[in-house]
């Protein structure tokens, strides 16, 4: 007898009640229960994730791997306007104009089946009042203040982008000639790639329950970084995006967040999923899980100068014997500056390029912009 692998899946119904759901997948069976997770933000690049239901703590070799869902995905409004998504292998994106109105529903054509969401009315965003900063002895805290803007939701999601100016740990004062295996001092230190810009987008969306706070949130800490972090060296810019959720959407996202704390991520069906507002139109008996969220977004940006900087490098240069110089050079190392030798006296320490070249460390010489220019793809 084949072993039965079971899930406990939370079902979010229109009533907002949560019930346990058990999905049985036999060992060796290829799972084909589709999971649709769509976060549609009007006026912003939005993402749709398609995956297959997977048993908890069981490797793909034990139940068969269904591969990545290949599908056509589009969003339509109640007037028949269609917005086509681009992408493949279960990852799709689309852009809906901020001015679009009315109700929307998502359609996914996958495995010869037609999946749809319920018709969804976009949720109005809260009003973002301020972004503020504070610090203690060790950390900088980035805080958000907002209030409900008449939607009466009481639940919100926060996502942020950040751009900062930083420099490398060291300034290179030496060069290496691989032909003669010689290390010499530069005429002047190489600072060509000393300062750079770094850009980062928060991979997670933070959930806020302010339903019991009278529709107002003050000084909510959504980001923390060390005072010795490179974000404090010169200029730090942060932009928040905030959108409200319905109570049902919040419960769904909260369940995913709890799943992610066990293992996985917000867009993974492990270790369990919830039934949401999606269904299979072509086969009512087919199981499908997930939620389509559609919201309008409020944004705000703020700049922090190097007020709280306590920067110090923790990088350590490497002492390299002369016979090993060619090997380290081949691994991307170069001589950087004088250091105390373990054998006594001083020696030229070697470091990887990321220690003295901010581009090699992932930065850019030109200041980047926040992503604000979506391309709209409208179907026939």
User: Which range has the worst mean pLDDT, 12-16, 161-165, 168-172, 350-354?
Assistant: 12-16
pLDDT value at residue 327: 97
Question: Residue 189's pLDDT is what?
Answer: 96
Confidence check: pLDDT of 149 > 80: no
Mean pLDDT value across residues 56-82: 74
What is the share, in percent, of the chain residues with pLDDT greater than 70? 81
Distances (CA, A) of 173 to 191, 328, 334, 365: 9, 17, 10, 20
Reported as a single tens digit per residue, the pLDDT across 292-311 is 999 999 999 999 988 899 98
- What is residue 335's predicted lDDT score, i.e. its pLDDT? 97
262 or 4, higher pLDDT = 262
Locate 112 and state its tokens.
Answer: 């010869």
Q: Among 87, 127, 83, which residue's Cα sits nearest to residue 102? A: 83
**pLDDT for 259:** 66
| Total length of the chain | 380
Q: Say which range, 20-29, 108-117, 270-279, has the weakest mean pLDDT.
A: 20-29
Under the banding of pLDDT at 50, 70 and 90, the label for residue 83 is very high
Q: What is the pLDDT of residue 101?
A: 82
Describe the chain by its helix, strand, coil percentages, rounded to 5: 10, 45, 45
Q: Are 194 and 171 in contact (CB under 8 A)?
A: yes
Mean pLDDT of 110-128: 93
DSSP state of 284: T
pLDDT for the residue 132? 95
The model's confidence at residue 274, banded by pLDDT at 50, 70 and 90, is low
Residue 272 pLDDT > 70, yes or no? no
Exposed/middle/buried for residue 145 (C-beta within 10 Å: 0-12, 13-18, 19+): middle
Quote the tokens at residue 368. 């980047």
- Give the residue, 272 or 45, on which the prediction is more confident: 45
pLDDT of 298 reads 93
- What six digits make up the tokens of 291? 């939620």
Average pLDDT over residues 87-92: 93
pLDDT at 375 over 50: no
> Comparing 62-71, 209-218, 345-354, which segment has the lowest mean pLDDT?
62-71
Torsion of CA 45, 51, 57, 59, to 10 degrees: -120
pLDDT-derived band at 275 (thresholds 50, 70, 90) equals low
Q: pTM of the predicted model, to two decimals?
A: 0.78
Q: In degrees rounded to 5, what are phi and psi of residue 20? A: -70, 145
Between these two residues, 339 and 203, which has the higher pLDDT value? 339
Q: Is the pLDDT of residue 151 over 80?
A: no
Q: What is the mean pLDDT of residues 16-35?
A: 51
b/e 103-128 (16+ beta carbons within 10 angstroms → b) = ebbbbbebeebebbbeebebbbbbbb
Mean pLDDT of 216-233: 94
pLDDT band, residue 55 (cuts 50/70/90): low
The pLDDT mean for the chain works out to 83
C-beta separation of 78 from 102 below 8 A: yes
Question: Per-residue pLDDT for 105 more than 60?
Answer: yes
Mean of the pLDDT values across residues 38-56?
Answer: 85
| Residues 376/94, Cβ–Cβ less than 8 Å | no
Strand pairing of 278-280 and 346-352?
Answer: unpaired
Q: Mind listing the pLDDT tens digit for each residue in 304-355? A: 988 899 988 888 999 999 999 999 999 999 999 999 998 889 999 999 999 9
- Is residue 161 over pLDDT 90? yes
For the CA atoms of 66, 87, 244, 376, the dihedral, rounded to the nearest 10 degrees, stands at -160
């Amino acid at each position: 007898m084949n072993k039965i692998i079971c899930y406990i899946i939370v079902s979010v119904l229109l009533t907002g009640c949560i019930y346990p759901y058990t999905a049985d997948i036999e060992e060796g069976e290829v799972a084909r229960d589709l999971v649709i997770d769509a976060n549609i933000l009007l006026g912003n690049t939005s993402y749709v994730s398609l995956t297959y239901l997977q048993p908890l703590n069981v490797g793909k070799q034990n139940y068969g791997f269904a591969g990545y869902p290949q599908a056509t995905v589009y969003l339509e409004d109640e007037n028949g306007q269609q917005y086509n998504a681009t992408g493949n292998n279960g990852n799709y994106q689309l852009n809906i104009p901020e001015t679009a109105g009315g109700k929307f529903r998502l359609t996914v054509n996958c495995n010869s089946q037609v999946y749809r969401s319920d018709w969804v009315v976009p949720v109005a965003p809260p009003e973002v009042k301020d972004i503020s900063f504070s610090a203690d002895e060790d950390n900088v805290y980035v805080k958000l203040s907002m209030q409900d803007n008449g939607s009466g939701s009481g639940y919100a999601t926060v996502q942020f982008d950040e751009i900062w100016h930083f420099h490398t740990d060291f300034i290179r004062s030496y060069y290496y000639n691989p032909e003669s295996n010689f290390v010499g001092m530069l005429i002047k230190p190489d600072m060509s790639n000393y300062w750079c810009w770094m850009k980062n987008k928060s991979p997670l969306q933070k959930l806020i329950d302010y339903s019991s706070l009278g529709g107002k949130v003050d000084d909510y800490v959504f980001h923390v970084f060390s005072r010795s972090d490179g974000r404090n060296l010169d200029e730090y810019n942060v932009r928040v995006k905030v959108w409200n959720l319905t109570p049902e959407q919040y419960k769904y996202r909260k369940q995913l967040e709890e799943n992610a704390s066990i293992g996985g991520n917000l867009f993974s069906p492990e270790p369990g999923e919830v039934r949401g507002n999606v269904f299979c139109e072509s086969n009512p008996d087919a199981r499908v899980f997930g939620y389509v969220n559609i919201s309008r977004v409020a944004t705000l940006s703020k700049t922090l100068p190097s007020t709280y900087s306590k920067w110090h490098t923790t990088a350590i240069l490497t002492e390299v014997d002369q016979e090993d110089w060619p090997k380290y050079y081949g691994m991307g190392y170069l001589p950087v500056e004088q250091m105390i030798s373990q054998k006594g006296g001083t020696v030229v320490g070697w470091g990887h390029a990321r220690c003295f070249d901010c581009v090699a460390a992932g930065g850019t010489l030109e200041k980047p912009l926040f992503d604000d220019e979506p391309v709209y793809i409208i179907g026939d």
